[in-house]
Amino acid sequence: MQITEIVAGTAVVVALDGRLDTASAGAVEARLLALLERGAVVADLGAVRYVSSAGLRVLLKAAKAARAAGRGFVLCGLQPSVRDVFEMSGFDRVIAAYPGREAALAAAC
Amino acid sequence: MGGYATSGRRRAAAPEDAGAGRVLRALRRWLSGGRQAALEIELPAETAAIGALLDAVLAWAGQARLPAATAHNLALLAEELAANTVRHAAGATGFRLTARPVGEAVQVAFSDDGPPFDPLAAALPERGGPLEDRLPGGLGLRLIRRLTTHAEYSREQGRNRLTFTLGPAA
């Protein structure tokens, strides 16, 4: 899993590239939680083809941390197979997801 | 074929690199040549094996030319089942996964040597309360029931064995 941060004003876009699974969950969680201490975060999953339940747990933890800290946390770029998992698990009702970064940034800030 | 063998060696070494501290047992066999080849993989019940399993499953799904959605669901269930074994099956030493393409679908068998556990019969956690207040415990169990057809559980010779079909309804 490659994690790239792009600063966009007061928010940070975290572009993930790879699988969000049991193996990568810890590193992604640590990065998201650290960034959420400083400001809003957009997680760009455009290059993530696979999200397992371990990955969903990470995103849920980040969403809860964001809510507690009063910061924005949204997703963008979900691939169809990933969106299926989101809908199946009911996550689409908890974490907002947008097609592109710009809409996601506008919503997060 | 050559590419498959090469990447197989790289993958098999990864858990050792990650410090699993045990020799990884990964057996992959082409049971019957060509496009209908089956996947058979056996790994120790430890966290590092889950990544190796996913690597093997996704590489095989590509080789077998599974439809993308079927490949994704196969990976998803393989990870859920392996993670269940690694996290919750006290005393389990390993798990085994086989997958065989049948037309556009895949027949899958997963077994482990943990204590008896039937994922098709296990109670699901309550779905009450605001969604954000519950981590998706039981999500794996839900996915297994939701994505599979012809799912059957049996306990055979000290092993849990789950068989199911993934993909377009036959």
DSSP calls for B133-149: GS--TTHHHHHHHHH-E
As given in the structure block, the two tokens for residue B75 are: 């990976």
Look at residue B18 and tell me whether its pLDDT is greater than 80: no
- Asked whether the whole model's pTM tops 0.90, one would answer no
Report pLDDT digits (tens) over A24-64: 999 999 999 999 999 999 999 999 999 988 899 899 999 99
Name the one residue in this structure whose structure tokens are 């790879």.
A18
Beta-carbon separation of B136 and A56 below 8 A? yes
* Count of alpha carbons within 13 angstroms of residue A10, beta-carbon side: 11
Question: Would an 8 Å CB–CB cutoff place A87 in contact with chain B?
Answer: no
Residues on chain B touching A19 (C-beta within 8 angstroms): 54
**Mean pLDDT value across residues A20-27:** 92
Beta-carbon separation of B51 and A22 below 8 A? yes
Q: What angle do CA B134, B55, B49 make, to 5 degrees?
A: 65
**Mean pLDDT value across residues B40-65:** 93
Whats the size of chain A, residue-wise?
109
Q: Are B111 and B159 in contact (CB under 8 A)?
A: yes
